[in-house]
């Protein structure tokens, strides 16, 4: 398929897609204020804040995927950003001392808004960039922007949290500005018909697409469970090892997301070289990175590992979303994207309970003590992926 020209309209579309990542990376705020949450909220509320978005997201992502195949994706995109701006600021900030208010904010933003924005944005990229090479490039840029936006948000959240932890949530109003820009500059993207013509690569996904999509979903779930536990509770790692305050936690998050930005931006090039094998080094680096955090706690170690793991996560994350748009028929891209985001959301549900169980099992209140478990999860994922690629080399390349 012919590549889309990078004229002013296309540039504005890409810019808005980049900025819309605030609706996806907004959950970063909890990593910045986790210590304060434990000081001001009851444990049951904190556990639900971290777990319920996964349950809500499970249904929301599936629904968003189906709906995006039936309606204009622009409508879902704008609506998700507006809802995020309002609920993230009001429930998350003004009602931050309320146990129920914090749970509601997390469910709306981490579940419903995440589903609406992530599914519709991937759908917009798919509809607007039909050429596979260009789509992989734009997808990489988009996920790179996700990392960059996350880095900026982490710094804003972290530094505002030092002043007063509830101030961090007011950053979410920025999503409203992005929504207004989207109204004027994002093109209408009505649903694709079942007989719509796709690229040559898309035709290959007409048969056997489920067999190629399921491994992506499983990998996303387990890798997200391991990496995002470490990433979300990094403030407990910082405080538990005496490495600094919320500002240092924000610095770690910024380093990780900036390195993720570099890796995502280079995804078009690296995917062109490694193809589906691109995930293997990413999984290996995540396993080793978590293990190093366990073996050598320290400020320098934490910064270096945060960067390496951020790059590895960004690479794998971009691959999962990009690959899911290639292995299915054109009129099922929304559904496939919804399933992928569901796998991510579902991984959040067991996260706080597994963490609590493991820390209770080792009789320690320092998260460092249980990091080998998460390193082990990543090692198993790496081994399973390597075996799968050897046994299904021909099918995996289709």
Instruction: Name 23's Cβ contacts closer than 8 Å, sequence gap at least 6.
Output: 80, 81, 84, 109, 113, 114, 116, 117, 118, 175, 178
Q: Taking CA 45 as the corner, what is the angle to CA 353 and CA 150, rounded to the nearest 5 degrees?
A: 80
- Backbone dihedral region for residue 7 (phi beyond 0: left; psi -120 to 50: alpha; all else: beta): beta
Alpha-carbon distance values, 110 to 118, 134, 345, 349, 370 (Å): 11, 30, 8, 11, 25
pLDDT at 250: 79
How many CA atoms are closer than 13 Å to the CA of 386, on its beta-carbon side? 11
Domains of the chain: 8-191+199-396 (1.20.1250.20)
Q: What does pLDDT average to in each consecutive run of 10 residues of the chain (398 residues)?
A: 80 92 82 80 83 77 79 90 82 67 80 86 84 79 80 82 82 90 88 49 54 86 93 88 85 84 85 86 96 94 94 90 78 75 78 90 90 96 91 64
C-alpha closest to that of 249 among 79, 83, 85, 28: 28
């Amino acid at each position: 398929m012919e590549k889309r020209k990078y004229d002013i309209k296309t540039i504005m579309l890409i810019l808005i897609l980049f900025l819309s990542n605030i609706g996806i990376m907004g959950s970063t705020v909890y990593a910045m204020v986790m210590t304060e949450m434990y000081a001001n909220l009851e444990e049951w509320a904190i556990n639900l804040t971290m777990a319920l978005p996964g349950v809500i997201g499970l249904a929301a992502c599936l629904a968003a995927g189906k709906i995006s195949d039936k309606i204009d994706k622009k409508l879902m995109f704008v609506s998700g950003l507006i809802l995020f701006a309002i609920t993230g600021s009001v429930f998350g900030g003004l009602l931050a001392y309320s146990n129920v208010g914090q749970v509601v904010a997390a469910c709306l933003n981490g579940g419903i808004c995440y589903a609406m924005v992530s599914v519709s944005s991937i759908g917009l990229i798919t509809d607007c960039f039909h050429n596979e090479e260009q789509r992989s490039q734009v997808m990489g840029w988009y996920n790179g922007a996700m990392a960059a936006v996350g880095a900026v948000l982490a710094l804003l959240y972290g530094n505002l949290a030092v002043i007063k932890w509830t101030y961090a949530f007011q950053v979410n109003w920025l999503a409203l500005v992005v929504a207004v820009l989207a109204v004027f500059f994002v093109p209408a993207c009505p649903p694709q018909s079942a007989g719509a013509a796709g690229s040559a690569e898309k035709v290959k996904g007409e048969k056997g697409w489920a067999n190629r999509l399921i491994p992506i979903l499983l990998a996303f779930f387990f890798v997200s469970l391991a990496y995002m536990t470490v990433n979300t509770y990094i403030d407990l790692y910082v405080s538990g090892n005496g490495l600094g305050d919320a500002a240092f936690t924000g610095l770690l998050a910024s380093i990780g997301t900036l390195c993720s930005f570099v890796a995502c931006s280079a995804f078009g090039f690296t995917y062109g070289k490694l193809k589906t094998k691109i995930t293997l080094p990413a999984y290996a680096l995540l396993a080793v990175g978590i293990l190093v955090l366990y073996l050598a706690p320290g400020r320098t170690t934490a910064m270096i590992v945060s960067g390496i793991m951020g790059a590895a996560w960004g690479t794998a994350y971009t691959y999962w979303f990009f690959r899911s748009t290639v292995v299915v028929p054109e009129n099922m891209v929304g559904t496939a994207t919804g399933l992928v985001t569901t796998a991510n959301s579902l991984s959040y549900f067991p996260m706080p309970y597994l963490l609590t169980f493991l820390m209770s099992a080792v009789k320690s209140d320092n998260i460092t003590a249980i990091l080998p478990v998460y390193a082990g999860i990543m090692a198993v994922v790496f081994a399973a992926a390597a075996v799968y690629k050897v046994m299904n080399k021909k099918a995996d390349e289709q």
